[in-house]
Structure 1
Amino acid sequence: MRLLCLSNGHGEDAIAVRICQHLQQLPSSLKIVALPIVGEGQAYIERGIPIVAPTQKMPSGGFVYMDWRQFWGDVRGGLLELLWQQFRAVKAFAKEGGAIIAVGDIVPLFFAWLSGAPYVFVGTAKSEYYLREELKTFHSFKRRWEGWSGSVYLPWERWFMSQPRCKAVFPRDSLTAQVLQQWSIPAFDMGNPMMDDLESLTPESAYLSGEKGILQGRSLSVCLLPGSRIPEAYENWQIIISAVAGIVETFRDRMVSFLAAIAPGLSLDPLQETLERQGWRLKSAQYLSAKLPISDSTALVYSQGKYQLILTQKAFADCLQAADFAIAMAGTATEQFVGLGKPAITIPGKGPQFTYAFAEAQNRLLGPSILLVETPKLVAQTLKYLLNDPDRLQLIAANGLRRMGKPGASRRIAQCLIEKLG
């Protein structure tokens, strides 16, 4: 069988690749190709999955829905011509036989429907948690308006999911699957692939739950997540380091370390410049041989007095596993951190991704695990609040698992996909 992966974003590409890896391990003769609608599909390239149509980085980075000016910038950059070429490639694939797995939002779903081929949909962008809690009651007027059709998925999106050629839909959480099933949509609760491949490579995670130590005065570890989009991530980093300065000032009686999980596509130079302006100093090469809480011997280690800050572009999972809390201005990375049962403090930025609107929507998606503050100065105060509220920490631990699910979703989706596509 031939399978085409359609995805529209860096995170969506990574999810598609995880599912493909498990498909390739199953006893079935699959020929897998890909079409990343947004970006160049580096995740596919690294795994040796052929790309069947032209790709191109757009000025918006894929966030055209947040600002019409971003959209027009993409149009001037060749968006419409690119989409036409990609559509023709999808139609050509469908004529030769095979099936499609669409990962992301309505864009790849729409492409899959237009193709004429059988398809499955992995919905990563929407969740009923944006509108309601487990009791399925709408809250504010804003949420009732956003959910006017009875679901976070709009009627035309549900129509694409309910067509005979749509063999399966894999929503991102149990609540969304339950709601979609009300419209006779073949929705299956297989979990969220975002939580796969997050195992730490260090012998033992440094994270301890409230009753095991962080409330009793042991050292704290804070993960720093500035996002991956250039140049927004560099601006986010300056905001995050301002928050770090507040923590250093507030927690003078306690050891605090900071683990910065930096996307491989970012340059470390602007990040280092910001640290040096704030009084952080790079440790000597001799210190780098000392045992670190992450599995990256090339990490850069900074110090300011008794405090330590580690920059790594290779140990993302280790940072998430080792940290107690996060200061986050990211999308997928924040969700993954919360899915490990840990609290994330978020600060709105200038965008185009991590704006106040995005942060507020993320807050609704992830519930009590997210603490949204207006300014960096409020981060240290919020951290103190969490340390004084063990009940909130317990609630957050349970909430993360419920909203993001257990690991293994990619394998479960791959197995179900083979069954449904025959």
Structure 2
Amino acid sequence: MKLLILSNGHGEDVIAVRIIEQLQHYPKISQIAALPLVGEGHAYQNRKVSLIGPVQQMPSGGFIYMDRRQLWGDLKEGLLKLTQQQYQLVRQWAAQGGKILAVGDILPLLLAWISGADYAFVGTAKSEYYWQDEYGWLPQTPWIYRWSGSYYFPWERFLMSRPRCKAVFPRDSLTAKILQQWSIPAFDFGNPMMDDLEVEIDTVSKVKPLSNQLTILLLPGSRNPEAQRNWQTIIAAVAEVIKTFRNRELIFLAALAPALPFEPFQDYLIKEGWQIQPPDIFKLDPQGLTFTYGSARLRLCQNAYKQYLNQAQIAIAMAGTATEQFIGLGKPAITISGQGPQFTSTFAEAQTRLLGISVTLVQQPAQVACAIQSLLQDPDRWQAMIENGRRRMGLPGAAKRIAQCLMKIL
């Protein structure tokens, strides 16, 4: 079997790679290739997955749906020509008898349907939790979704219910249950975003949620220049946290995406009065840098993402996928609205609905310390967030379950 992966974003590429790694255990697959529809497909290239067509980073970063003004910039950079080439490639793949796995939203799903091939769909972008939960519609739900009966519109469900669509893998149990009402072959296998996140950590570094030591994860996002703007906002929040929790041992873990330039983040800390220290207290990430501000410590690193997610108790976050993964580990996050193009007030508010009580959205950095204080004073709420995160993000092992299903149906 020849399988082509279509995906439309960095987070989607990473999810697709996790499924590919599981599919590679099956000898019946003669070829696996990828066509990233947005961006340059670095996740595929890092795993030596063949790309079958041209790739190009557009100015919007794939976030046209959040800011329509970004569309003109993409068009000037050749979006229409790129889309035409991608269409021709998927048609050629289908003509050669290949199958397709679409990962993301309606764009890869639509291309998979247009191709003429048998296909399956991993829906990463939509969850019913955005507008409803197990008890029904949220009060602020727009009429169009109530009319639709689902966050997935009828035309999206049409593409998922075609005979050539052999399987749909939603991101959570609630979404799978609702899609099944329309005879869509939806399987509740969990969310690949949660695979391979838990790591073994030295017991000395494991801390209880309500102990005197407070370990806070800092997530500025993965795209520049937005990540640098977010970093300045987060460091302003950190300053307030330091003032508020003078009697606690504070450790801040800053997880930077590998693609980001390291120096601007380091330079901004120095500008704000942080001092570089010799690497002596963190063994998990020897390539990072340690900073101090009074008695508070901050570790800045690009290669300890999983370890930081597991070590931290709370996150100050202005990120998409990383925030969701942290919540999925059963931990709370404080988020701050940003300028975008990704982490805008609209995106942050939608993420809060998606992740429920596990996220506290504030409008200003100065409000973060009070939000953390409120969390620490409510252990019952903390326990509820553990259960909520796991329910909304699912258990690890989804990529393996999806791969097993694909081998049976395709």
Query: Into which bin does the TM-score normalised by the smaller protein fall?
Result: over 0.9
For 1:11-410, list aligned pairs within 5 A.
11-135=11-135, 137-200=136-199, 202-204=201-203, 206-208=205-207, 213-215=208-210, 217-284=211-278, 288=279, 290-292=280-282, 295-410=284-399
How far did residue 201 of structure 1 move?
A: 5.2
Question: C-alpha distance in 2, partners of 1:382/1:323?
Answer: 16
Quote the Cα distance in structure 1 between the aligned partners of 2:204 and 2:222.
24
Q: Distance in 2 between matches of 1:205 and 1:194?
A: 27
Structure 1 residue 274: deviation in Å? 1.4
Contact kept in structure 2, 1:218 and 1:254, CA below 8 Å: yes
Moved more, 144-153 or 99-108: 144-153
Kept after mapping to 1: 8 A contact 2:39/2:56: yes
Q: CA deviation at 1:194?
A: 0.2
Q: Deviations over 1:231-252 (max 9, x none)?
A: 0000000000000000000000
Please list every run of 5 or more consecutive structure 2 residues that lacks an aligned counterpart in the other structure.
none
SS at match of 2:147: coil
Tell me, in whole angstroms, the C-alpha distance in 2 between the residues paired with 1:383 and 1:145.
36
Letter aligned with residue 280 of structure 1: W
Q: Between 89-98 and 164-173, report the one with greater CA deviation.
A: 89-98
TM-score where L is the length of structure 2: 0.98
Between the aligned partners of 1:141 and 1:202, the Cα distance in structure 2 is 41
Task: Work out whether residues 228 and 266 of structure 1, in 8 Å CA contact, stay in contact via their aligned partners in 2.
Answer: yes
Give the letter for the 2:274 counterpart.
Answer: W
Give the superposition deviation at 1:147. 3.5
State the shift of 1:26 in Å: 2.7
TM-score, normalising length from structure 1?
A: 0.95
Consecutive aligned runs of 4 or more in structure 1 exceeding 4 Å deviation: none
SS at match of 2:121: strand
- Determine if contact 2:3/2:29 at 8 Å carries over to the other structure: no
Q: Is the 8 A contact 1:205 1:321 kept in 2?
A: no
Cα pair 1:168 1:186 within 8 Å, conserved? yes
Provide, for residues 48-79 of structure 1, a one-character-per-residue CA deviation record: whole Å limited to 9, x for no partner. Answer: 11111111000001101111210111001100
Query: In structure 1, what residue type is equivalent to 2:253?
Result: L
CA distance in 2, matches of 1:204, 1:48: 35
Give a deviation string over 1:80-127, Cα, whole Å, max 9, x none.
Answer: 000101111111111001100000000000000000000000000000
Which residue of structure 1 aligns with residue 401 of structure 2? 412
Aligned-residue offset at 1:27? 4.3
| Aligned mates of 2:27, 2:97 — CA distance in 1 | 20
Contact 2:330–2:388 (Cα < 8 Å) also in 1: yes
Q: What is the identity percentage for the equivalent residue pairs of Structure 1 and Structure 2?
A: 57
Q: Partners in 2 of 1:143 and 1:134 — Cα distance?
A: 18
Say if 2:13 and 2:41, in contact at 8 Å, map to a contact too: yes
Could you tell me which amino acid in structure 2 is paired with residue 105 of structure 1? D
The 2-side partners of 1:321 and 1:11 are apart by 20
Q: Is the 8 A contact 1:224 1:259 kept in 2?
A: yes
